[in-house]
Amino acid sequence: MARITIFYLCGKRKAESFDVVGPICESGDFLAKDRQMPELNEGDYLAVMSAGSYGFSMASNYNCRLKPAEIMVKGNKFYTTRKRDSYLDLVKKDVIPDFLK
């Protein structure tokens, strides 16, 4: 399971039990199971310190997923060390054979 740090960005929230899953949701695709966390809302941030194939070191384009950006955090500042892939990055090396044109 992933190491997850919760950043409390606004006030105290009631703690609840959550499963944290990735966007592909394969049968065993859990970052955390039954984890006590404050109630989360759209737009909240959840820092995942190790994310397996959701991090760049094991990233692939499985299911046409774009490779993530890499962010380095030092103190209260963050730096983008690698930009997120775009859909153009995903298909720019594809070639359509002449017989299909």
What would the 3-class secondary structure string for 60-97 be?
CCHHHCCCCCEEEEECCEEEEEECCCCHHHHHCCCCCC
Active site residue 25: yes
Question: How far apart, in whole angstroms, are the C-alpha atoms of residue 21 and residue 57?
Answer: 18
Q: List the catalytic residue out of 5, 7, 10, 25.
A: 25
**Residue 92: what are its φ and ψ, rounded to 5°?**
-65, -20
User: Are 60 and 85 within 8 A, CB to CB?
Assistant: no
Indicate which residues carry an active-site annotation. 25
